[in-house]
Amino acid sequence: SMLGTLADPMIYLFGLGTGLGLLVGRIEGASYIAFLAAGMVATSAMTASTFETIYAVFGRMRDQGTWEAILHTQLTLGDIVLGELTWAATKAFLAGTTIAIVAAALGYAAWTSVLYVLPVIALTGFAFASLAMLVIALAPSYHYFIFYQTLVITPMLFLSGAVFPVGQLPGVFQQIAAFSPLANSIDLIRPVMLGRLGDNVGLHIGALCMFAVLPFFLSAGLFHRRLMR
């Protein structure tokens, strides 16, 4: 499953990075592939936690009866949700860290920057796992996940600065991007990987924490109504 998770960001990194890099030149004082690498670190964390949650967790909750069995122990529903989020965030951490290490090994980022972005990768994974948990708390079947993938996750990839600067977007899309958890993650990761200090660090961290905490409590309440009735 990790190989599948890493495939997309690796394809973007080397396909777009080497191909478009020859045409685009430098962006924000760095080569395009170095610019893209930082975006792919955040993107890999997003996709790893999202797909682990909406498919694997939903299966354990609805089809396999895993949650029902656990609820016959001393663990609570909140414990289960938190455990699932932690596992999804762990996979996201491994995926994002792998991309960061590859970028550093190829000279697109400093090795020291990898250490600094590790907490952001973990927080990004937890935030997107929490959002996905809210989705599966509302979804009656697997078929509804395609709407989340195509209407939320895919547009977020292209509107959050992962592939090109947000400043190149029309004004209304720049405003939308400001509320994107992926954009906040990239704004924390990219400056560090490009060797400079970022702006509004506290604001971006606060936004990611909000996306991690609020959906967690909302989904826990929705799961309680769904499973305990």
pLDDT in tens, 92-101: 999 999 889 9
Residue 137 exposed, middle or buried by CB count within 10 Å (0-12, 13-18, 19+):
buried
* Type and span of the H or E element at 30: strand 30-31
CB-CB contact of 184 with 162 (8 Å)? no
Residue 173 or 131, more confident: 131
Predicted confidence (pLDDT) at residue 34 exceeds the cutoff of 60:
yes
**Highest averaged pLDDT of the listed ranges 8-12, 89-93, 98-102, 141-145:** 89-93
CA distance 221 to 134: 10
Among residues of the chain, what percentage have pLDDT more than 70?
A: 90
CB-CB contact of 190 with 37 (8 Å)? no
Query: Which single residue is written with the structure tokens 């009866």?
Result: 65
Confidence of residue 105 (pLDDT cuts 50, 70, 90): confident
CA distance 182 to 162: 8
CA distance 11 to 169: 23
Residue 147 or 63, more confident: 147
CB-CB contact of 28 with 194 (8 Å)? yes
Q: What is the pTM of this model?
A: 0.89
